[in-house]
Amino acid sequence: MASIEAWFMDDSDEDHRMPHKLNPNEPVSLKELENIGVFYWKLDADIYETDPVLEKIRKDRGYSYSDIITIDKDKLPNYEDKLKMFFEEHLHLDDEIRYILDGRAYFDVRDREDCWIRIAMTKGDLITLPAGIYHRFTLTETNYTQAMRLFVGEPVWKAYNRPADEFDIRQKYVSALQCA
């Protein structure tokens, strides 16, 4: 059974690697995430190279390209600059698909009312963020994760920092939320 931990975030400016849960906590369900276009699978990261479930997801969704990134101060060039860039609120013109192979991290996404939802990602979690959704990424206090990045076709690495409402993909995303 798929399970994911997500919650509405507080407004604290403290270390962004901390959980930032409201008090009392306000959890967000998988169904609520799906309603804003975020989808989730729990897979066995120990067999990612031969996992038939991952292969089926890739085939069904057209994820033809993948690579692996290790986000660790000793392994990622320009580590501090990359973390700052990942945490800047932005959108992409394509879906963002990430599969955590090791470690932990957070994805923060905006809901319909523009509130932050924090999604805790651990080993085996695969998530898709729709094109046009404002989001950001950060590590937890462990300062380490390894993730597979998946793409439809050749990878596109361009992020557009907020505000980016003028893009057709953003307008399409917002329109889809209003119709749902």
32 labelled ligand-binding = no
Query: Rounded mean pLDDT of the chain?
Result: 96
pLDDT number for residue 8: 98
90 labelled ligand-binding = yes
- pLDDT of 1 strictly over 70: no
The Cα-based distances of 139 to 31, 35, 63 in angstroms read: 24, 25, 25
Extents of the domains making up the chain:
5-179
16 labelled ligand-binding = no
Which CATH superfamily hosts domain 5-179? Jelly Rolls (2.60.120.10)
- pLDDT of 180 strictly over 90: no
User: Tens digit of pLDDT for each residue in 132-163?
Assistant: 999 999 999 999 999 999 999 999 889 999 99
User: Tens digit of pLDDT for each residue in 55-106?
Assistant: 999 999 999 999 999 999 999 999 999 999 999 999 999 999 999 999 999 9
**In angstroms, how far is the first alpha carbon of the chain from the final one?**
25
- pLDDT of 21 strictly over 90: yes
Considering only CA atoms, which of 76, 91, 77, 175 is closest in space to residue 129?
91
5 labelled ligand-binding = no
